[in-house]
């Protein structure tokens, strides 16, 4: 049975601790490795996840053995979780809940949030430092001290938890998207560039893709996501957004335009263009997860989104339904 770090004998390896098995603690402090930093050998033997695609059963690693970088943490079919949860539950059963004035105040706060306007609730419960951070027609944010804990309550008046479309229509979402696009300052990957890089990959890795590609030219799969052409497109978009610099992407676009306008014979490019799926149009439903990944990374580094540091943060919609709640530093 796995031990927690606090109770483990000295001879138990760190990688066998409950914290490591739950991916809360990784041996040697190894963090998540970005996709583009994996070695060719690591990627060749895994066949794990694809950006932007959810898989309930992940080929090659159904039990999350490679969870530190595969995106497969705590897989629901991992039978080892029963052994991990046993000692966790036993330890939790032995703990006594602290009954302090602060704990009772936090309980009261969380209970009253869905039935009380944040402004009124903050003024009533604050033990110090009540502040209105923002008061707009679409949003009210208050901040205050509740004993030793900092609290931030956000009333998103333009959100309706029951209508998911309101999240995209919200002013804060529109402003954030405009800032993200301005920071990235690059449009979608042109189709000509996609085809050019796909042809480049096909020519370089003919032993890997050539036979399958030739077979699919005569019997093309209906589902483009299951085609070898789909694999090539995913690799091309990944290369473009994650491996190339902004200058190199501009060079790739120029070379792609030149190749498409050229009369020079290029068998791979011609074959890819002839097999192109109509769904790959760069329209709204044709999502590019690699561009989104780079856009999110750029936005995070530039603090496009507001940085929240409070111990307790709760956001409610126009009807006071909780849409987000995060509580930290309670123990």
Q: Which two tokens stand for residue 314?
A: 């709760």
CA–CA distance, 327 with 331 (Å, rounded to integer): 11
Question: pLDDT, tens digit, for every residue of 145-187?
Answer: 999 999 999 999 999 999 989 999 998 899 999 999 999 999 9
Say if 40 falls within a structural domain: yes
**Domain boundary pick from 94, 116, 151:** 94
193 and 269 together in one domain: yes
Say if 139 falls within a structural domain: yes
Query: Is residue 257 scored above 90 in pLDDT?
Result: yes
314 and 171 together in one domain: yes
164 and 200 together in one domain: no
Q: Which two tokens stand for residue 4?
A: 């927690």
Say if 292 falls within a structural domain: no
Q: What is the largest CA-CA distance in the chain?
A: 80
160 and 204 together in one domain: no
Question: pLDDT, tens digit, for every residue of 38-96?
Answer: 677 766 654 555 655 666 666 666 555 565 555 555 566 666 677 777 888 888 888 88
Domain count, the chain: 3
> Worst-scoring range by mean pLDDT, 73-82, 103-112, 259-268, 270-279?
73-82
CA–CA distance, 238 with 290 (Å, rounded to integer): 6
Contacts of 138 (CB under 8 A, 6+ apart): 156, 157, 158, 170, 171, 172
Say if 38 falls within a structural domain: yes
> Worst-scoring range by mean pLDDT, 35-44, 124-133, 143-152?
35-44
Angle at alpha carbon of residue 95, lines to 91 and 97, rounded to 5°: 145
Neighbouring CB atoms inside 10 A of 64's CB total 22
SS percent in the chain: helix, strand, coil, step 5: 50, 10, 40
Say if 86 falls within a structural domain: yes
110 and 84 together in one domain: no
73 and 27 together in one domain: yes
> Is the pTM value of this prediction over 0.75?
no
Give me the residues paired with residue 132 across strands: 142
User: Domain range for residue 147?
Assistant: 101-180+305-327
CA–CA distance, 296 with 144 (Å, rounded to integer): 30
Say if 61 falls within a structural domain: yes
């Amino acid at each position: 049975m796995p031990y927690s770090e606090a109770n483990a004998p000295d001879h138990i390896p760190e990688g066998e601790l409950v914290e490591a098995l739950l991916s809360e603690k990784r041996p040697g402090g190894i963090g998540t490795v970005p996709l583009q930093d994996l070695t060719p050998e690591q990627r060749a033997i895994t066949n794990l996840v694809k950006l932007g695609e959810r898989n309930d059963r992940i080929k090659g690693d159904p039990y999350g053995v490679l969870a530190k970088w595969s995106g497969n943490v705590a897989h629901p079919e991992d039978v080892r979780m029963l052994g991990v949860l046993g000692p966790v539950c036993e330890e939790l059963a032995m703990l006594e809940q602290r009954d302090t004035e602060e704990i009772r105040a936090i309980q009261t706060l969380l209970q009253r949030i869905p039935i009380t306007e944040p402004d009124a609730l903050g003024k009533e419960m604050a033990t110090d430092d009540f502040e209105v951070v923002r008061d707009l027609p679409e949003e009210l944010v208050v901040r205050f001290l509740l004993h030793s804990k900092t609290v931030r309550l956000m009333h998103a008046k333009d959100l309706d938890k029951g209508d998911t479309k309101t999240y995209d229509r919200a002013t804060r979402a529109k402003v954030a998207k405009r800032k993200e696009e301005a920071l990235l300052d690059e449009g979608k990957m042109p189709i000509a560039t996609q085809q050019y890089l796909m042809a480049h990959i096909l020519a370089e890795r003919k032993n890997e893709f050539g036979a399958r590609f030739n077979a699919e030219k005569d019997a093309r799969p209906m589902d483009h996501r299951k085609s070898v052409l789909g694999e090539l497109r995913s690799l091309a978009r990944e290369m473009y957004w994650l491996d190339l610099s902004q200058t190199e992407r501009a060079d790739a676009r120029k070379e792609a335009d030149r190749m498409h306008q050229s009369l020079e014979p290029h068998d791979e490019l011609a074959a890819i263009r002839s097999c192109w799926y109509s769904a790959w149009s760069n329209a709204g439903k044709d999502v590019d997860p690699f561009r989104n990944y780079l856009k999110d990374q750029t936005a995070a580094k530039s603090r496009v989104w507001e940085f929240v540091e409070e111990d307790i943060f709760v956001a409610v919609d126009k009807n006071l339904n909780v849409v987000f709640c995060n509580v930290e530093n309670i123990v």
